[in-house]
Structure 1
Amino acid sequence: MEAQLDRSDQPQDLESSEPVLDLVPIDQLQPADSPRRAGEDEQHAQRLAESETEWPPILVRRSTMQVIDGMHRLRAAKEKGCHSIKVEFFDGSEEAAFVEAVRANIRHGLPLCLEDRRSAAERIVAAQRNMSDRAIAECTGLSTKTVGGIRRRLDQDSSPQDVRVGKDGRRHPLSAADGRRQAAKALTAEPFAPLRQIAKAAGVSVGTAHDVRERIRRGEDPVVPRDRGKRPKPDVRKGLTAPVTDTVVTAPEKGRKMKNMQARLQSLRKDPSLRLSESGRELLRWLHLHHRAQVKYPHVVDNIPPHLAAIVAELATQCSEMWRNLAQELEERASQQD
């Protein structure tokens, strides 16, 4: 989803992130491709017209002069007899503009109702099939589970995809094994290419690309054993197959991983650069709590009340996302040092 807000007139040496605004005649603007199926709310526009508070600029797609976000403000400006309005320009495709309209309308102003958000998610899934469930959930204000259900319903007659674009804007293979194979293929074609180039081509992290390169140098399979253990899991309800993200781990292997994690934690606790700084001690507390959670996992999960299962699952997903982002950032730092 290659789109961006206009920043072309902003000096590069300034640290300010203030948007570049233009005063545009109202009669040059076109109606929005709005996610609001019922159109604008007249009462909300009237309240804005009666307010003395300065409104934020509206968002407009430059190529078509179509309003992305701000139809209520535009209507209120017309009501007040204004001839122009402050605009922030957006450069991107029609699909990207619609995604931005949905995202903007759940953040401020008059929020989208649940049915409008569901309808918007359906349109985004249909138009941008490679956009991940998590990214769509973030911009529509729905849960990842809800977006996944919408995708399964719309994709019943479609061929499965191997890659999706996540919230970070990067391409991610649905299968870790496929991502590693793509990285190996890219490295075979260009052995001396920078790791960032390989990672981008394969849709994997820089750390994964680095690991694949080292495994190839040692003559090993670029796909690690844990990823080779992944296989499609049948969906009994619809007779479909869906990719499984959980790794098949045996009890002895799990025990070895726990001991290895405990040994590494003990080593980190002795490191002065962590032990003697507040941020370092905070990181050690996070890791210690995670280790304890793994130990207590079966007992705690078995006793979660059924009516709280969905809420806890969503919170757990958000926590895992934080750890994944942390891991990816640190992998990139490590590869840069290498």
Structure 2
Amino acid sequence: MTGGTDDLARVPVESVPIDSLVRADSPRLDGENDEHIRLLAESGVAFPPILVQKSTSRVIDGMHRLRAAELRREDRIDVQYYEGDDDSSFILGVRANITHGLPLSLADRAAAATRICAVRPYLSDRTIASATGLSTKTIRSIRAQSSGENSGTAARVGRDGRVRPLSTEPGRRLAAQLMAENPDASLRAISRAAGIAVATARDVRERVRAGLSPVPENQRRADRGPNRNVVPRAGEAGNGNSPETGELTILRTLARDPSLRFSERGRALLRWLVAHTADVRGWKRFVNDIPPHCEDVLARISRMNAAAWHELAGRLERQREESADPEAGRER
């Protein structure tokens, strides 16, 4: 299996020893629900197959069923294997947990969306919304909050070990969005999902009910850095000559190529290119924060990546030459 949950009907079911499986990378912040496990174990019904990542034997979806089977003292369980990487497996697990079984909480889904935005930033808001059961507006708010719109540090760690944002504006706006879409959600659930204090969530609710902005005037755009509104120098904006603009233009051009868009291998290539080139200069945001003892290691990684790109460029150039002159290719 290499696709989403819709592909499960075509995946064979296998019986495997329970002790051969690895605990899930669960999207549930609080882990499995013991009461739900007990009810499943006592139900006496046969469980549908669980979903397992083939390369690691890690459970993607079905930890409640697995633990219920253990309570029944069963030593084997039916599984369906998924052939994907860790991040794809996590996304598939989230999607599966919003369509059946014990539903993910609002906080679970918001945390999962935050993680997906981080590991798959090129996925559309609609795609992430579909996987997590949230609205596209909520995903946009989560993406804005998790991406750290300011160029500096977006949060600090206190003496108690808790991470606190320097600005609550993104969290307040996300909380307001969640309240609008989940009017029955508790303040605690909203605060946890939005990453703000319960008191802050209460203030947001009161402000919204009063017809005010969820963000007080003195907190709006508090995280704007000195360079947020810098106007590009003449000739830089919109001419496609800056490296970032050029890369995006090339990617958009490739994405419109029918030979890539309408083939599975072509779409895979496009996803790979977006993941590895869309923010190729993102290192500039972090380079001054790299600890000295990590600099040599990261420098080696950078040179290895540069060498890999150089090798790819050479390979493509040789292929182009051979296509233009087949005799030259045979001479090599």
TM-score of the two chains, using structure 1 as the length reference: 0.45
Q: TM-score, normalised by structure 2?
A: 0.46
